[in-house]
Amino acid sequence: MKKLLLLLLVCVMSLSAFAADKVQIGFFAGSTGSDVPAAQKAADMYMKLHPEIQVNVLTGAKSTTDMLGFLLQNFEAQSGDVDVFNGDVIWPGDLEEHLLPLNDYMTKEEISKYNAAVVTNNTSPEGKLLALPLFIDVPMLYYRTDLLKKYGYDHPPKTWQEMEEMATKIQDGERKAGNKEFWGYVWQGDAYEGLTCDGLEWIASNGGGTIVEPDKKISINNPKAIKALEFATKWVGTISPKGVLGFKEEDSRAVWQAGNAAFMRNWPYCYKLGEGADSSIKGKFDFTQLPEGDKRSASTIGGWEIFVSKYSENPDEAVKFAKFAAGYEVQKMRVLDYGWLPGMMTVYDDPEVASDKFVSKMGPIVAKGVARPSTATAPNYAEVSRIFYTTVHKVLSGEISAKRGTKEMAIKIKKVMQ
Ligand code: GLC
């Protein structure tokens, strides 16, 4: 973390020296997939319109959990280095005290263009708008169309059970054919926020609830949740590499995009990257909703917002840039060039966006969304999620049973919420 801080400071200092006469805006973007090029493009678009402003894109965090850690250090120091940042949909409730509320800078009409459910998520109980919806994220099951055909399947799997069977058969066949590095299924098993998303999907699709329910009832200790965790534990070292327990989004994509996996659970950003000119699976894959458990298909609702730090030394300029970075032109560019689904609803009516095949195919998957309990547990969501992902990680590693894991989680979450 210290290294990251240094890296960012070096970046800020050198850029400041270079353009000392301009107003400096530090824009902290994530570093997953096309996050950095998309943020840089937005910054360039803005600087072209406003030559008196220098937007410095800061980057370096490898996951949402790392990025939150860095931001918390930055807030503690009340540092103005980060003026505007991309942040996770689960953060507004926890970060409120460090944010600049945006209501004073925006009309009701401007706000009404954004996805209403996300605006509600980003609004404090006292009515402060804490962030602008940038993109909506829902994970999908990516699958190899060529391999499904080769092994006699005419449709992607509907259930987790079916996915497991297909992954086993394809993996056996590909290994026998000589690819010793081939795996049936890759996903995110490292102990971080990504595992909360994957774990919630297994449990919710099996009818085992959402860890903590909207009425604040702690539901994690139940037989359906236990069964779902036991089911996924079998995958580690069979259809998924043991190393999956250290995988974040980009690790899974690396295996998948090298052509070494039949199925992958990941977010929409992987689509355009997989179709890129340098991708070995270009034209050989498609996607569908995540498999069903006993009950349904459940995709964790993710997404990223644009936030303004309360410690910004140029709040007016920071807000102006934030509104642009979450505005129409940038969101249109982001979906057409990179496949990030707009958080501003009016962008979907744009003729170029409306006719985009990828966007229309995502519609039914968005409808399968399940929310993490970030509102029910605010301002302690990060801690509740940490309990969930560290315990699920222990279950997946075989350190403790799913039964013991769910029991322990319920006790620890209760303490945090008291
Ligand atoms: C994606 C989602 C975000 C989630 C994260 C987990 O970035 O948009 O909401 O927390 O993945 O790794």
Which residue's CA is the closest to the ligand 1 atom numbered 1? 302
| DSSP code string of 271-304 | HHHHTSTT-TTTTSEEEEPPPB-SS-B-EE-EEE
Rg (CA), the chain: 21
DSSP reduced 3-state for 57: strand
Structure tokens at 313: 């030394």
Structure tokens at 117: 């459910």
| Ligand 1 site, CB within 6 A | 63-64, 88-90, 137, 193-194, 197, 249, 267, 302-304
10 Å CB burial of residue 404 (0-12, 13-18, 19+) is middle
Q: Ligand 1 centre from 51 Cα, in Å?
A: 33
Q: pLDDT truncated to tens, each residue of the chain (418 aa)?
A: 444 443 454 354 445 445 668 999 999 998 889 999 999 999 999 999 999 999 999 998 889 999 999 999 999 999 999 999 999 999 999 999 999 999 999 999 999 999 999 999 999 999 999 999 999 999 999 999 999 999 999 999 999 999 999 999 999 999 999 999 999 999 999 999 999 999 999 999 999 999 999 999 999 999 999 999 999 999 999 999 999 999 999 999 999 999 999 999 999 999 999 999 999 999 999 999 999 999 899 999 999 999 999 999 999 999 999 999 999 999 999 999 999 999 999 999 999 999 999 999 998 898 889 999 998 999 999 999 999 999 999 999 999 999 999 999 999 999 999 9
Q: Ligand 1 centre from 385 Cα, in Å?
A: 12
Which residue's CA is the closest to the ligand 1 atom numbered 11? 194
pTM exceeds 0.75 for this model: yes
Q: Ligand 1 centre from 133 Cα, in Å?
A: 14
Structure tokens at 57: 């894109």
Structure tokens at 277: 């000119």
* Pocket mutation for ligand 1, best pick of 193, 270, 381 (most atoms within 8 Å of C-beta): 193
